[in-house]
């Protein structure tokens, strides 16, 4: 299991296109994605608290000074972009995703959305951005696509620019007996998609293999399931409910029994201290000798 899989499961079960990250709710227009947007916002807030910031790259001073170009690959609703554009208003921000609803009227003036498939060539010139940010692409990319995307990001990133990837380890630790039993079909389905649920174990080597990046740092933090998370326990409980409900859609449990089963799963996760790991990879694009 992992941080983005509930969205992936709902999309698959409903027949939606799962290659895009998330659909944006146009202001004033209620639609079927409102719940998903709320869930994404909840996850974003939890993850920001876990890391203590929206990013770990050592670029805060430069962002405050302004004039930087920032790219969010697979930006989804644009929540990260909007917060960054508010905190560092003198920089320009671009989000790229496949959702046509990203073109909204109420976006900040320093934010632009570009409609594109990140599995293809990124629609930007070489050496264009100062900071590139990626997260929650674990269910969207095969291993070979990861390598291609990292190379594309290195192409559009300026020499000396920072590249940050945040992904979840798509498995949980200390699962209770009920979750182990009920998640079997879910894991069988994921295996059939050829998605590598442990891609986080390879990303650092992908970065190194390009010979494009230096100062690579790998950070890890736990994302808790159940309600044993201290000051974040209510948020963890709310998000865990959505995770468990998504897993149950692949089980033999009847929908009328979901609530009772989720309570059992929640109690077990709290007792067993279930969690999964978040991984963050921060790197700097090599500076060419002739630029020194």
Only one residue has tokens 């891609």, namely 199
Does 9 have pLDDT greater than 90?
A: no
Look at residue 106 in the predicted model and tell me its pLDDT: 76
Task: Please count the other Cβ atoms lying within 10 Å of the Cβ belonging to residue 159.
Answer: 15
Across the chain, where does the E strand assignment appear? 69-73, 92-97, 111-115, 129-135, 157-168, 213-224, 275-285
- Give the Å distances, CA to CA, from 277 to 112, 129, 212, 285: 31, 29, 27, 26
- Banded pLDDT at 175 (limits 50, 70, 90): very high
Of the given ranges (25-34, 76-85, 159-168, 222-231), which has the lowest mean pLDDT? 25-34
Look at residue 2 in the predicted model and tell me its pLDDT: 37
Rounded to whole angstroms, the Cα distance separating 75 from 113 reads: 9
Percent of the chain with pLDDT over 70: 85
Look at residue 3 in the predicted model and tell me its pLDDT: 41
- Give the residue-averaged pLDDT of 180-201: 90
Beta bridge partners of 135: 166
What single-letter DSSP state applies at residue 42? H
Look at residue 30 in the predicted model and tell me its pLDDT: 41
Compute the radius of gyration of the chain from its Cα atoms: 19
The number of residues in the chain equals 292
- Banded pLDDT at 187 (limits 50, 70, 90): confident
Look at residue 22 in the predicted model and tell me its pLDDT: 30
* Cα angle for residues 209, 211, 216 (degrees, 5° grid): 80
Kindly list the domain boundaries of the chain, sorted by start residue.
5-280
Q: CATH classification of 5-280 is 3.40.1180.10, yes or no?
A: no
- Banded pLDDT at 170 (limits 50, 70, 90): confident
Per-residue pLDDT tens digits for 124-137? 999 999 999 999 99
Per-residue pLDDT tens digits for 18-56? 333 333 333 333 444 577 788 889 999 999 999 999 999
pTM of the model: 0.86
């Amino acid at each position: 299991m992992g941080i983005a899989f509930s969205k992936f499961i709902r999309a698959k079960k409903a027949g939606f296109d799962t290659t895009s990250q998330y659909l944006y709710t146009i202001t004033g227009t209620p639609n079927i994605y409102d719940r998903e947007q709320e869930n994404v916002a909840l996850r974003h807030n939890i993850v920001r608290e876990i890391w203590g910031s929206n990013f770990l790259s050592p670029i805060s001073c430069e962002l405050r000074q302004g004039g930087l170009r920032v790219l969010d690959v697979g930006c989804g609703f644009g929540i990260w972009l909007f917060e960054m554009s508010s905190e560092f208003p003198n920089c320009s921000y671009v989000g790229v995703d496949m959702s046509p609803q990203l073109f909204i009227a109420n976006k900040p003036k320093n934010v632009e959305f570009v409609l594109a498939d990140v599995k293809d060539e990124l629609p930007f010139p070489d050496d264009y951005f100062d900071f590139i940010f990626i997260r929650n692409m674990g269910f969207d990319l095969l291993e070979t696509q990861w390598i291609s995307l990292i190379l594309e990001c290195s192409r559009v990133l300026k020499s000396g620019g920072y590249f940050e990837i945040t992904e979840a380890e798509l498995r949980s630790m200390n699962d209770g007996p009920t979750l182990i039993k009920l998640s079997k079909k879910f894991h069988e389905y994921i295996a059939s998609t050829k998605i590598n649920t442990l891609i986080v174990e390879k990303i650092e080597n992908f970065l190194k293999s390009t010979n494009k990046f230096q100062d690579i740092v790998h950070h890890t933090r736990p994302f808790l399931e159940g309600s044993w998370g201290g000051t974040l326990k209510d948020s963890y409980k709310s998000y865990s409910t959505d995770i468990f409900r998504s897993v149950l859609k692949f089980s033999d449990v009847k929908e009328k029994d979901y609530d009772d089963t989720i309570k059992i799963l929640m109690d077990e996760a709290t007792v067993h201290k279930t969690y999964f790991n978040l991984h963050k990879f921060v790197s700097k694009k090599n500076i060419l000798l002739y630029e020194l």
